[in-house]
A and B are shown apart, each in its own frame.
Chain A
């Protein structure tokens, strides 16, 4: 459809590219790229350290200015907090994204394949005010950055 002309003025992006694919039915075709099973242990861990150990193999990491986290100082609604993580480090293998104050802190891991640039964005849920933590695995070592996000409960407003 012709959405390009009507996007919000501040948006420079264009409408979704016309999709040329056909959706595959539930579970019919297992994509070949999937080898690893979902890391249940990491995602159910109650602490940042346990989660990191389970997903990155270790919890110890060094803080790094080279990792940039973009997230709001105050989340409008904890249900949808836009977060971006990027770094100019070389040799990045994976990125873990955690919300320290969540019941289970690990929210996402991103395994970078050939050509991938360490620059990802998503939207996460945050149960309460806490730090968002990004842990980057590069050259076998763990580096991290954190940014505090204030979460207020959107209790009023119908």
Chain B
């Protein structure tokens, strides 16, 4: 699952805005496969952790109600240009991925 997260982190004044896009099917478990007619098993990101400078700035919990290939943006203060932002997701099937980006 390498490279399933894309991050843009920009600082303006003292506020850093982080936008990220994750590649994930976000299956609710309620959708039927159009070919087989069988339910597609639930497979969704249920937790996203955002850290800056090693400290957590936000933790999100999600249901399968977040759209496929999820988008998330959030803002925080207290960082500087060049600092690292780290995003980690975990899903309900035990998968996870993590990515870092420098604030520009």
- In the complex they form, whether A and B have CB atoms below 8 Å apart is answered with yes
Interface class of chain B by DSSP: strand
What's the dominant secondary structure at chain A's contact region? loop
* Interface residues in A, total, Cβ within 8 A: 52
- Could you count the A-B residue pairs with CB atoms below 8 Å apart for me: how many are there? 179
Smallest distance from the beta carbon of B38 to chain A beta carbons, Å?
19
Distance A38 CA – B91 CA, assembled complex (angstroms): 10
User: Which of A20, A26, A34, A115 counts the most chain B CB atoms within 10 A?
Assistant: A115
Q: Bound complex: CA of A120 vs CA of B94, how far in Å? A: 25
Which B residue's beta carbon lies closest to that of A82? B71
Q: Which of A19, A28, A34, A123 is the one whose CB lies under 8 Å from B47?
A: A34
Please determine whether B65 and A104 come into contact, CB atoms closer than 8 angstroms. yes
Report B's interface with A, CB cutoff 8 A.
Answer: 1-10, 15, 19, 21, 28, 30, 46-47, 49, 51-52, 55-68, 70-79, 84, 86, 88, 90, 92, 94-104
Q: Are B4 and A23 in contact (CB under 8 A)?
A: yes
